[in-house]
Amino acid sequence: MTTTILCVEDETDLRSDICEELVAAGYQVLEAADGREALDEIKRTRPDLVLCDITMPRMSGLDLLKHVRHDPSLGDLPFIFLTALADRRDVIAGKAAGVDDYLTKPIDFDLMLITIAARLDQLARVRGAASRDDGGSQVGEKYRSALLGANEALNRVAVGVFLIDAERKVLFRNRRAEELLEEADGITLSREGFLRGEKPQQTQALRDIIDTAVTRANARNRRATDAVALTRNSGRRSLFAVACPLDCEAVDAGGPVVGVFVTDPERRLSAAAEAVAHLYGLTPAETRVALALARGLRLDEIADEFGISRNTVSYTMKNLFRKTDTDRQADLISLFIASPVALENE
């Protein structure tokens, strides 16, 4: 059965190019020039996935998404937004409304096809699990809800999560993993669905730890893990990738057999800072000083960087110790590098 994708884009030339790529990839394609046309098309044909611009006349993509998510019969319809890199507020609003994914303009068509395939595959697995569980009974619905909840939970994690099958291809990636791929700074995804580093030796090192994890999964050995540092052309600190085997039952079922967890040391500090600041009621100034300490700066360097006096830094430190119930700089820093969870959906 042919998969149907609805492309919603008010720029005629861009919509034509997108549809051409989708048709060449084997999809059946429907078109709409704005959200109102798209809503009528969705109700009439129930496509398998919606690829939608945000800023459009008559009805925006965000308003269309809200209509879709408020319709119980369309609750699991995969929805991917097309957005410009600068539209951060649109990204936040879309995630709050329940968008599944983002693609940035200008569109990378290889990434678009991989993203679409991954979302459709994920939906098929969720529906398959639900239908196998007591023929879609109340228990099956609870299981399906649990799977969707698990997906959202992974999207709250500040670590990039990639689930890999026995063929070494990516079956699933969480929101942070998507952001890492969009940055294309240290890790990318090939058109065939394989993870790659920026240089051949980095790609090989990444493949090696995945191969080792697949071998261990086949041997029903889930205890060991392997890691590799992925250098970045931007000059920022290297990404840290860890691969480990998953549930041995997936080896024979065609599901994910390896988890690859990718940490950005710089982003990790930011996510942890949000969590700690929220937990202990820190002010923005206190959070900035604590983050500077976590980056390894001395007190005089912090004073110079923020244009404040050394006495102000010392006073802020005292407040940090009091609020976080710590009395050593090392203990304070540990709070700001421990949290893997981003409290806000940014």
Q: Report the pLDDT value the prediction gives residue 247, as an integer from 0 to 100.
A: 62
Strand partners, 101: 80
Please state, as a whole number, how many other Cβ atoms lie within 10 Å of the Cβ of residue 203.
18
Exposure pattern of 69-83 as b/e (b: 16+ CB <10 Å)?
eeeeeeeebbbbbbb
Compute, in degrees rounded to 10, the torsion defined by CA atoms 101, 104, 108, 109.
50
For residue 328, the 8-state DSSP code is S
Rounded Cα distance between 291 and 277, Å, is 11
Q: What is the dihedral of CA 172, 178, 181, 186, to 10 degrees?
A: -90
Number of CB atoms found within 10 A of residue 21's CB: 17
**Contact status, residue 22 vs residue 29, Cβ threshold 8 Å:** yes
Q: E strands along 202-257, which residues?
A: 226-230, 239-245
* Residue 62 confidence (pLDDT): 86
- Gap between the Cα atoms of 247 and 258, Å rounded: 8
Please give the pLDDT value at position 119: 83
Gap between the Cα atoms of 91 and 243, Å rounded: 29
Structure tokens at 247: 């549930």
- The reported pLDDT for the residue numbered 26 is 87
pLDDT value of residue 325: 87
Structural domains of the chain, with CATH? 1-155 (3.40.50.2300), 157-263 (3.30.450.20), 266-338 (1.10.10.10)
Res 333: pLDDT: 73
Question: How far apart (Å, rounded) are the C-alpha atoms in residues 25 and 191?
Answer: 12
For the chain (346 residues), the mean pLDDT of every run of 10, in chain order, is 88 91 90 92 90 87 85 80 69 72 84 86 66 51 56 72 87 84 90 88 92 81 76 88 74 70 74 71 86 80 90 90 85 65 43
Sheet of strand 258-263: strand arrangement: 170-173, 160-164, 258-263, 239-245, 226-230
Q: Does residue 161 contact residue 154 with C-beta atoms inside 8 Å?
A: yes
